[in-house]
Amino acid sequence: MKKFFCLLAIIGIISASNCSRIPENNDPIIGIWNHIELNAEEDVTHQEWIFNDAYLGRYHLYINNSLEIKTDFSWSQEKGLYTISYPGTEMSDDMVSMKTDQSVEVLEDNQGKILAQRE
């Protein structure tokens, strides 16, 4: 009888492990994206987005090489339009699409402003 229960336990473990596969996400946005800007006061602003395959990421804002903001974000994609949300912050959502500009991949909003380029 013990052998029968052991066999059932093994079959149950194998069945459960086959059902819990995570679908592979190979979206082209996955990776590191940057935007560097120099303003009139000679301040350098560097923004960095790190997108991962779990529809999450990390955002950094540096001003003159000093970390000012570090927060997590979530992202989604629908029909080529990416929505980047920053929960728990007052930052508004970014809605961008991926474009290739002179062999450089960029994230561009619907008004044509470049949010970031691929590192």
Q: What is the 3-state secondary structure (H, E, C) of the chain?
A: CHHHHHHHHHHHHHHHHHHCCCCCCCCCCCEEEEEEEECCCCCEEEEEEEECCCCEEEEEEEECCEEEEEEEEEEEEECCEEEEECCCCCCCCEEEEEEEECCEEEEEECCCCEEEEEC
Predicted local confidence at residue 68, as pLDDT? 96
> Over the stretch 82-109, which tens digit does the pLDDT of each residue have?
999 999 999 999 999 999 878 899 999 9
Predicted local confidence at residue 73, as pLDDT? 98
Q: Does this model's pTM top 0.85?
A: no
Q: Two tokens at 55? A: 């529809």
Domain ranges of the chain: 25-118
Architecture of domain 25-118: Beta Barrel (2.40)
